[in-house]
Structure 1
Amino acid sequence: MSDINPKEASATTAAANAAVMDGVLDFSDRQSFEDAGRGFIATIDPITITRESDGKTTYDLEAVKFLEGEAPATANPSLWRMAQLNGLNHGLFEVVSGIYQVRSFDIANMTLIKGETGWIVIDPLTSSESSAAALALANRELGERPVKAIIITHSHADHFAGTLGVVDPADVASGKIPLVTPVGFTQESLSENVLAGPVMQRRATYMYGNLLKPDPKAFLTTGLGAALSMGTTGFVPPNDEICETGETRVLDGIEIEFQMTPGTEAPAEMVFFFPQFKALCMSEITSHHMHNVYTPRGAQVRDALAWSAQINESIDLFGDRLEVEFASHHWPIWGRERAVDYLKKQRDLYKYVHDQSLRLANLGYNKEEVAEQLELPTSLAKEFYNRDYYGALAANAKAVYVKYLGHFDGNPANLFPHPPTAAGARYVKFMGGADNVIAQARQSFDDGDYRWVAEVLNHVIMADETNTEAKLLAADALEQLGYQAESGPWRNFYLCGALELRHGVPEGRPLQVSEGMAAGMPLENLFQAMAVRLNGPKADGKNFAFNFEFTDTKESYELTLENCVLNYFPGRSNPRPTATLKLATLDFKLLMLQVRDAATLMGDGKLEIEGEALAFAELAGLFDKFNPRWPIVTPRPAWS
Structure 2
Amino acid sequence: MTTPKPATDTIVRQQEEVRRSLPFNDTQDFEDASRGFIASRNPNIVTNADGRPVWDNHVYGFLKNAPPNEANPSLWRQSQLTAKDGLFQVTDGIYQVRGLDISNVTFIEGNEGVIVIDPLTSQETAAAALQLYQDHRGSRPIKAVIYTHSHLDHFGGVKGMVTQEDVDAGKVTILAPEGFLEHAVAENVFAGTAMGRRAAYMYGAGIDRGPNGQVGCGLGQAVSTGTFTLIAPTDTVSTTGETRTIDGVPIEFQMAPDTEAPSEMLVYFPAHKALCAAEDATHTFHNILTLRGAVIRDPHGWAKYLTETIDLFAARADVVFASHHWPVWGGEARIRPFLTQQRDLYAYVHDQTLRQLNQGLTGPEIAETFSLPPALAAAWNTRGYYGSLSHNVKAVYQRYMGWFDGNPSNLWTHPPVARARRYVALLGGRDAVVSAARAAFDAGDFRWAAELLNHAVFAEEDDPSSPSSSSSNPARALLADTYEQLGYGAENGPWRNFYLSGAKELRDGKTFGTPTATGSKDIVAQLTPEMVLDALAVQVDGPRASREDIRVDVVVTDLGESGTTYRVWLSNGALVYSKRKQPGEAQVSVTGTARRLTALAVFRLDPGKLVEAGVRVEGDKGALERLGSLLDPGDPSFNIVTP
Tell me the TM-score normalised to structure 1 length: 0.95
Partner of 1:483 in structure 2?
Answer: 488
- Matched-pair identity in %: 46
Match of 1:615 in 2: 623
Query: Equivalent residue for 2:357?
Result: 361
> Which of 17, 20, 32 is residue 19 of structure 1 equivalent to?
17
* Greater mean deviation of Cα atoms: 514-523 or 304-313: 514-523
Q: Which moved more, 1:191-200 or 1:575-584?
A: 575-584
Match of 1:525 among 521, 531, 544: 531
C-alpha separation in 1, matches of 2:106 and 2:581: 44
Matches within 5 A, 1:124-163: 124-163=119-158
**1:563 pairs with 2:569:** no
Question: Does the C-alpha gap of structure 1 residues 535 and 509 become closer, same or farther in structure 2, counting only changes over 3 Å?
Answer: farther
Partner residue in 1 for 2:543: 537
Alpha-carbon distance between aligned partners in 2 of 1:566 and 1:174, rounded to the nearest angstrom: 39
8 Å Cα contact 2:259-2:297 kept in structure 1: yes
Question: What is residue 384 of structure 1 aligned with on the other side?
Answer: 380
Deviations 1:438-468, CA, capped at 9 Å, x for gaps: 1011011000000111111111111115362
The aligned counterpart of 1:436 is 432
Q: Which residue of 2 aligns with 1:401?
A: 397
Match of 1:34 in 2: 31
**1:295 aligns to what SS in structure 2?**
coil
The equivalent of 2:602 in structure 1 is 593
> Conserved in 2, the CA contact under 8 Å of 1:460 and 1:470?
yes
* Pairwise CA distance, 1:608: 3.3
CA distance in 2, matches of 1:395, 1:221: 19
**CA positional deviation for 1:401:** 1.0
3-state SS of 1:547 partner: strand
The verdict on how the C-alpha distance between 1:578 and 1:416 changes in structure 2, with shifts beyond 3 A counting, is: same
Unaligned runs of 5+ in 1: 636-640
Of 115, 125, 130 in structure 1, the residue corresponding to residue 110 of structure 2 is 115
- Partner Cα separation in structure 2 for residue 561 and residue 398 of structure 1: 38
Q: What is the CA deviation profile of residues 567-618 of structure 1, one whole-angstrom value per residue up to 9, with x for unaligned ones?
A: 234597988221122345444323532389532454x583432210111111
SS in 2 for 1:476: helix
Question: Which string of whole-angstrom CA distances, capped at 9 and with x for unpartnered residues, describes residues 272-303 of structure 1?
Answer: 21100000110000110111111111111111
For structure 2, list consecutive stretches of 5 or more residues without a partner in the other structure. Answer: 468-472
CA deviation vs aligned residue, 1:137-174 (integer Å, no higher than 9, x gap): 11111010111111101111111111121121233345
CA contact (8 A) 1:304 1:354 kept: yes
Contact 1:479 1:495 in 2 (8 A): yes
Q: Could you say what secondary structure the match of 1:107 adopts?
A: coil
State the SS of the aligned residue for 2:354. helix
Q: Judge conservation of contact 1:421–1:463 (CA < 8 Å) in 2.
A: yes
Letter in 1 for 2:617: I
Asked whether 1:67 is paired with 2:75, we answer no
Q: Which amino acid aligns with 2:602?
A: L
Which amino acid in the other structure matches residue 308 of structure 1? Answer: A
* Structure-1 separation of matches of 2:315 and 2:327: 17
Structure 1, residues 369-405: CA drift from partner, whole Å, max 9, x if none? 1000101122111111110111100111111111111
Work out the CA distance in 2 between the residues paired with 1:225 and 1:507. 19
- For residue 107 of structure 2, give the secondary structure of its aligned residue in structure 1: strand
Which moved further from structure 2: 461-470 or 302-311? 461-470
For the structure 1 residues 339 and 508, does the alpha-carbon distance in structure 2 shift closer, same or farther, using more than 3 Å as the test?
closer
| Deviation larger for 581-590 or 327-336 | 581-590
Kept in 2: contact 1:123–1:153 (CA 8 A): yes
- 1:302 equivalent in structure 2: 297
Q: CA deviation at 1:506?
A: 3.0
Secondary structure class of the residue paired with 1:181: strand
CA deviation map 1:110-130 (0-9, x unaligned): 011101111111111111111
Question: Quick one: structure 1 residues 128 and 574, their matched pair in 2 at CA, closer, same or farther if it must change by over 3 Å?
Answer: farther
Q: Secondary structure at the match of 2:525?
A: helix
Counterpart CA distance in 1 for 2:41 and 2:640 is 37
Mapped partners of 2:577, 2:132: distance in 1: 46
1:11–1:435: structure 2 CA closer, same or farther, 3 Å change rule? same
Spell out the pairing of 1:224-243 with structure 2 (5 A cutoff): 224-243=219-238
CA-to-aligned-CA distance 1:499-541 (integer Å, 9 cap, x gap): 1111222378997833222223333322211111111111112
Kept after mapping to 2: 8 A contact 1:357/1:400: yes
1:249-260 equivalences in 2 (<5 Å): 249-260=244-255
Shift of 1:619: 0.8
Single out whichever of 64-73 and 235-244 deviates more from structure 2. Answer: 235-244
Q: 2:206, 2:512 within 8 Å by CA — same for their partners in 1?
A: no
Amino acid corresponding to residue 19 of structure 2 in structure 1: M
Q: Paired residue for 2:470? A: none
Cα distance, 1:233 vs structure 2? 0.6
Match of 1:500, as an amino acid?
E
Distance 1:429 1:318 in 2: 62
Any idea what the Cα deviations from partners look like across 1:332-386, whole Å, max 9, x if unmatched? 0001211111111111111111122122212221111100010112211111111
Read off the aligned partner of 1:523 and give its amino acid letter.
P
Amino acid at match of 2:389: L
Task: Report which stretch shifted further, 29-38 or 580-589.
Answer: 580-589
- Could you report, residue by residue, the CA deviation over 1:208-260 in whole angstroms, capped at 9, with x for unpaired residues? 11111101111000110122100101222212111111111111111111111
Equivalent-residue separation in structure 2 for 1:66 and 1:83 (angstroms): 11
Is 584-593 or 525-534 further displaced after alignment? 584-593
Task: Give the structure 2 partner of residue 6 of structure 1.
Answer: 4
2:105 and 2:605 mapped to 1: Cα distance?
33
Structure 1 distance, partners of 2:161, 2:512, is 32
AA in 1 matched with 2:294: A
Q: Which amino acid aligns with 2:202?
A: M
Q: Would you say how many aligned residue pairs link Structure 1 and Structure 2?
A: 629
Q: Distance in 2 between matches of 1:83 and 1:22?
A: 19
1:419 equivalent in alignment to 2:415? yes
In 1, Cα distance between the equivalents of 2:540 and 2:512?
Answer: 25
| Distance change (3 Å), C-alpha of 1:115 and 1:391 | same
Change in Cα spacing, 1:572 to 1:17, as seen in structure 2 (3 Å) is farther
Give runs of aligned pairs for residues 210-229 of structure 1, distance below 5 A: 210-229=205-224
Cα distance 1:5–1:508, how it changes in 2: closer, same or farther (>3 A)?
Answer: closer
How far off its partner does 1:179 sit?
A: 1.1
1:290 and 1:389 in contact (8 A); partners too = yes
Residues 512/619 of structure 1: CA separation in 2 closer, same or farther (3 Å cut): farther
How far apart in 1 are the matches of 2:102 and 2:619?
49
Q: Specify the SS of the correspondent of 1:533.
A: coil
Structure 2 counterpart of 1:31, which letter?
A: Q
Residues 177, 264 of structure 2: 8 Å contact kept = yes
Question: What SS is found at the alignment partner of 2:312?
Answer: helix
Distance, in Å, in 2 between the alignment partners of 1:342 and 1:456 is 42
